[in-house]
Amino acid sequence: MGILDTIRKTLRSSDASVSDLREALDAIDFEGLQAEVERAQRVRAGLLLDGTEAALDKAEAALTTAIRERDRGIAARAELGKRITEATEAAAVAALTAERDKVDREATAVAALLKGKFVALQSEIVGILARLHDAEGAVEAINSKIAAAGREDLVAPVETRAFEIPRGLYSPLYSVRKNEIRAVTGAPGWGAALPKP
């Protein structure tokens, strides 16, 4: 199969890839086609004064063929360039659509988790925070009574039993009770609104 046939086959293929189109474009020897036209022009020019009619007819036919092949190469280059642009744009659209669809599927899955599991988990967490709040209040109250009685067997805070606060840091500032959880449909919220940045 000749180069022209390969190019035609590629151009006729509706599913030619960008690499197929680039390969077909690279197969066109534009310099060679132009050189053949110039060679045929020189041969014809040399026969205009000294050649026979038959030789001149043959040279003109060869020149016509060379010009036609060069023009086919130019037309193929233009069409392949157009197809490469279209295929590249279509590939970019397809890639973006695929990426969008993947993100949309994940967003849908996470939304289902929020509706299904998160509401129940938030209700449970807010319930734990409420118990923590009450338990810490009870610890502070009993510790006040113990201290007033002159005793030293204070009850350790609840939260620091679960989460160690590094030495030198004021534990109430790092309390999980300070974190806000906004109410959502089906689950209560917790804490004051966070300050605006």
Residue range 35-58, pLDDT digits in tens: 999 999 999 999 998 889 999 999
Report the predicted TM-score, pTM, of the whole model to 2 decimal places.
0.54
Q: Measuring CA to CA, which residue among 154, 135, 156, 137 is closest to residue 145?
A: 154
Residue 190 is predicted with a pLDDT of 84
Averaged pLDDT, 79-83: 88
Closest CA to 13 of 83, 78, 69: 83
129-164 per-position pLDDT tens digit: 999 999 999 999 999 999 999 999 999 989 888 887
- Asked whether residue 1 carries a pLDDT value surpassing 50, the answer given is no
Q: What is the DSSP letter of 15?
A: T
SS3 184: strand
pLDDT of residue 154: 95
pLDDT number for residue 171: 65
**Higher per-residue confidence, 20 vs 48:** 48
pLDDT over 50 at 31, yes or no: yes
Going by pLDDT thresholds of 50, 70 and 90, the confidence category of residue 194 is very low
pLDDT tops 50 at residue 195: no
Residue 105 has pLDDT above 60, yes or no: yes
* Amino acid, single-letter form, for residue 158: V
What's residue 43's pLDDT?
A: 94
Chain mean pLDDT for the chain: 86
